[in-house]
Structure 1
């Protein structure tokens, strides 16, 4: 049971007790426990969506000197803004914008994620919110192409 809790923590980023409760609720079924944690994380993300995002970062990406993207990704604290998971999210979002050329933020979050077609960009952001414990939002972005 302990190794399953640890494995579940590594995959989901959830706390020890949350993983233990999910495994107990799922009667030891690992995949079911993973989906329970994911659903709870999305619920928590929804609750955080109205909180102010006063910090964040700018992230840029240039592809072959022909496509450039600048993204302003917001969070609540500079502690999360410096977190590697937040920076990874920013990088994944600029790659998404470069590849798919969304016209605005609404169309960006509605798109399927290029690295995992079964997941929408909105779900990617909500997963990060659940893992990091803060509201995260795409404030604005611009894409240039030659």
Structure 2
């Protein structure tokens, strides 16, 4: 099949991959775009895995304030060189990750590996004690508990979240896609979410009680 320059450009626009890589996978897939995109994705993930051990000490601090100014995020995204840190693709990635954190209320950790062992133990204890599991055989109960705990840990892990702009990939895959695109290791070092009133114990009051209290003082 003759692969036209327009086909190559279209695939590049959709994936951000290099022109030669796009042409090769289109030729290998006989012009099948879906297959070509999957091949590029697999190639990108493999390439990213090789680069993941390289030192990433450059990068940027990203700040994002959500509409309404009630919630904001600060994060540090690292790469290997200042040149890549200045690339538009890298800066867009950092903003997308910040927006993802805002959109993921349960996320507290970068990855499941960062979750403290005591929290995992507590989650297992809670799940094992639920009423719907009490009459099940031990092996069945253990399997269900494991599945539920793994689901909970993924809810807490940023890298396991489905990307809000492209739900068929995770944040981890999004980062790896950019590693393949930019040719450098990229690491999300840390993040902090700020919510207005967060950590403050809010006073709940009853209007009738307040009125009665005011009248008592006047009396």
Q: CA offset at residue 2 of structure 1?
A: 1.9
| More strand as a share of residues | 1
Residues 1:117 and 2:122 are matched in the alignment: no
Q: Secondary structure at the match of 2:75?
A: strand
Give the alignment's TM-score, normalised by structure 1.
0.94
Q: Secondary structure at the match of 1:90?
A: helix
The CA distance in 1 between the partners of 2:19 and 2:91, in whole Å, is 24
Pairing 1:1-146 to 2, within 5 Å after superposition? 1-63=4-66, 64-101=68-105, 102-106=107-111, 107-146=157-196
Q: Secondary structure at the match of 2:190?
A: strand
The CA distance in 2 between the partners of 1:8 and 1:118, in whole Å, is 18
Determine which structure has more spread, i.e. the larger CA radius of gyration: 2
After superposition, the CA RMSD in angstroms is: 1.2
Give the alignment's TM-score, normalised by structure 2.
0.64
Q: Contact 1:12–1:131 (CA<8 Å) still a contact in 2? A: no
Deviations 1:38-96 (A, max 9, x none): 11111101111001001000000112221121000000001110001101010011111
Mean Cα deviation higher: 100-109 or 73-82: 100-109
Q: Contact 1:45–1:129 (CA<8 Å) still a contact in 2? A: yes
Unaligned runs of 5+ in 2: 112-156, 197-219
Q: CA offset at residue 15 of structure 1?
A: 2.1
Q: Contact 2:17–2:40 (CA<8 Å) still a contact in 1? A: yes
Q: Contact 2:18–2:181 (CA<8 Å) still a contact in 1? A: no
The CA distance in 2 between the partners of 1:68 and 1:79, in whole Å, is 27
The CA distance in 1 between the partners of 2:37 and 2:69, in whole Å, is 41
Q: Contact 1:72–1:138 (CA<8 Å) still a contact in 2? A: yes
Q: CA offset at residue 28 of structure 1?
A: 1.9
